[in-house]
């Protein structure tokens, strides 16, 4: 018996049945009678609001309507999503920044991005509102706390702003913003949708200088796969993108509902409902840009990959220039939209 018949229908299957007719018109060869294909994604962090479009799609049943049953492998500091995907443990992964794709390609790992979740990054230098760091020039002479894993991203931001790292003091820190609270540092590398919210909830107003504000083209939570998966599983990736795009459209307009779902779906994480709601409201504002208004959610500017690759070569983060065309493909987005700008 399939998921859309019988006397006991799950909420997800009911939603799938309701939306399946529209999706079947979008996806060649898709039939409502098909059993959804289990499709695993390797996340780069735990299952929080960072992945709101995916969880919105889960909430509304868009994945099953597209013939997919999405499964999520949580990430974290000890999980290298690129290695997981390159090793074949998951067909698709998500990573935070474009420089990770360029770095992987420079090391001979054949992965490329095919969509982005958000236009810009929430990551940057957080400072107290009483001592704000608003421009790259404000970094000069300051003590900035940066995690070991964020050094490359911070170096790229400085290079984009033409600021030599010797003009400031970099202090090793962890993921806890206590050094900023206690004034051990003037700025702290974190995100507007995590540590900045935590600080505000503790009564500490703050500001953030993001990478794109400093002049570095940035995207956040990129979808990527190996060249082999892109070549051999293109139809499934198109279905995934249509699922994510529809989830993103719903999340953009209903962040509070999606936030409640995120808290409910992962009780083991003991997420703070208020913090997740604030996180989702902030992330929802990152869904769109002039580019997405013209082409649709998920799109990115391929020329930005060349900027990243050139800066990484200049900084010695890679040994030889990577061909930017090897770091991305737009073909799947083009197929997913089929000439439209919304789904």
Instruction: Compute the Cα dihedral for 127, 131, 132, 133 and give only its sign.
Output: negative
CA-to-CA distance for 100 and 120, rounded, in angstroms? 15
pLDDT at 29: 41
- Region 94-115: mean pLDDT is 97
Range list of β-strands (E), the chain: 37-42, 68-73, 92-95, 111-119, 123-128, 143-146, 169-172, 187-191, 206-210, 219-226
Question: Is the pLDDT at 336 greater than 80, yes or no?
Answer: yes
Question: Is the pLDDT at 114 greater than 60, yes or no?
Answer: yes
pLDDT band at 34 (very low <50, low <70, confident <90, very high): low
For residue 127, what are the β-bridge partners?
207
Supply the DSSP symbol for 35: P
The mean pLDDT of the chain is 92
Model confidence pLDDT, tens digit, residues 294-320:
999 999 999 999 999 999 999 999 999
- Region 14-28: mean pLDDT is 47
- Region 271-276: mean pLDDT is 97
pLDDT at 35: 86
Phi (first) and psi of residue 72, to 5 degrees: -120, 125
Is residue 207 a contact partner of residue 129, using CB atoms and an 8 Å limit? yes
Question: Is the pLDDT at 31 greater than 60, yes or no?
Answer: no
Model confidence pLDDT, tens digit, residues 193-222:
999 999 999 999 999 999 999 999 999 999
| Whole-number Cα distances in Å, 123 to 131, 189, 190, 214 | 19, 7, 6, 11
Specify the pTM: 0.88
pLDDT band at 77 (very low <50, low <70, confident <90, very high): confident
pLDDT band at 4 (very low <50, low <70, confident <90, very high): very low
Is residue 115 a contact partner of residue 298, using CB atoms and an 8 Å limit? yes
Question: Is the pLDDT at 5 greater than 70, yes or no?
Answer: no
Is residue 330 a contact partner of residue 302, using CB atoms and an 8 Å limit? yes
Phi (first) and psi of residue 285, to 5 degrees: -75, -10
């Amino acid at each position: 018996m399939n998921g859309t018949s019988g006397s006991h229908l799950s909420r997800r299957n009911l939603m799938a049945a309701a939306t399946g007719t529209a999706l079947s018109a979008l996806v060649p060869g898709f039939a409502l009678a098909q059993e959804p294909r289990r499709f695993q994604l390797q996340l780069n962090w735990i299952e929080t609001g960072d992945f709101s479009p995916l969880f919105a799609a889960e909430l509304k049943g868009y994945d099953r309507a597209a013939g997919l049953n999405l499964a999520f492998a949580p990430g974290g500091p000890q999980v290298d999503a690129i290695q997981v995907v390159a090793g074949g443990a998951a067909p698709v992964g998500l990573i935070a920044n474009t420089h990770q794709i360029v770095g992987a390609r420079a090391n001979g790992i054949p992965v490329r991005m095919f969509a982005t979740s958000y236009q810009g990054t929430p990551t940057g230098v957080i400072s107290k509102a009483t001592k704000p760091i608003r421009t790259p020039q404000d970094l000069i002479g300051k003590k900035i706390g940066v995690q070991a894993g964020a050094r490359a991203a911070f170096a790229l931001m400085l290079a984009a702003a033409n600021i030599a790292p010797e003009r400031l003091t970099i202090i090793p820190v962890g993921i806890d913003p206590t050094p900023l609270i206690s004034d051990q540092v003037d700025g702290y590398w974190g995100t507007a949708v995590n540590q900045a919210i935590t600080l505000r909830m503790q009564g500490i107003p703050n500001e953030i200088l993001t990478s794109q504000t400093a002049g570095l083209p940035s995207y956040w939570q990129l979808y990527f796969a190996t060249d082999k998966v892109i070549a051999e599983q293109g139809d499934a990736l198109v279905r995934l993108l249509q699922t994510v795009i529809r989830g993103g459209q719903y999340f953009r307009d209903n962040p509070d509902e999606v936030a409640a779902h995120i808290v409910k779906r992962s009780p083991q994480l003991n997420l703070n409902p208020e913090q997740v709601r604030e996180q989702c409201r902030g992330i929802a504002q990152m869904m769109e840009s002039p580019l997405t208004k013209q082409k649709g959610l998920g799109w990115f500017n391929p020329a930005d990959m060349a900027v990243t690759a050139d800066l990484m070569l200049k900084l010695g983060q890679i040994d030889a220039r990577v061909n930017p065309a090897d770091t991305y493909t737009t073909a799947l987005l083009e197929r997913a939209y089929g000439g439209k700008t919304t789904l």
